[in-house]
Every structure is written in structure tokens, then in C-alpha cells.
Amino acid sequence: MPQDTEFELFRDSYRRFLKEQVAPYYEQWEHDGLIPRDLWLRLGENGFLCVDVPEEYGGYGAPVHYSLMLVQETAQAGFASLAVAIGGQN
């Protein structure tokens, strides 16, 4: 998998997002059995959804390894159900 500067910046940004926007709330979401709509909106606003979808269809047109990284980082952070959901969205 290529490890260019743009990719590393994207990964670092996503790791920060997980730490700030997911980690404090994840246990409650698991307890409630749902991922709030607001999180999906924030993921989209930050460019973390549909990253490998072609631009003409509303995505960002990034290489597929960007989407794979999102799932990998989410799972490695311990957010398994969110990782599966993100994998299904992307």
C-alpha cells in the first residue's frame, strides 16, 4: 500500500477524529445499539465517507486504499461495529 504524504495526513486526521469524536461516546453507542446519525454527518463533513467513489457520483475519487485504511484504523481503535458500518458505507 502506498505511503505518501497525503495519505499519511489523511490517516492522521482520521485518527484524531476517532480519538475526539468517537472514543468518548463509543461505549454508550454500543450500549444503546446504534450509531447516531450525527456521527455519520460529521464523518461526511470531514471527508471520511465515499472517499473512493468517483467524483462524478459524489465521492472524492481517492484510491481504494484510503477506504480500506478507514476500516482498518477504526477496527484497530477498538470500534468493531463502527468499522463494519463504515466498510459497508464506503
The tens digit of pLDDT for each residue in 49-58 reads 999 999 999 8
Q: Over its length of 90 residues, how does the chain's per-residue pLDDT go in tens digits?
A: 456 899 999 999 999 999 999 999 999 999 999 999 999 999 999 999 999 999 999 889 999 999 999 999 999 999 999 999 998 876
CATH classification of 5-89, choosing from 1.20.1250.20, 1.10.540.10, 3.30.365.10, 3.10.20.30?
1.10.540.10
In this prediction the pTM is 0.89
**Residue 40 CA neighbour count, 13 Å, CB half:** 11
Domain assignments of the chain as residue spans, ordered by start: 5-89
Q: What angle do the packed helices 64-76 and 5-17 form, to 10 degrees?
A: 40
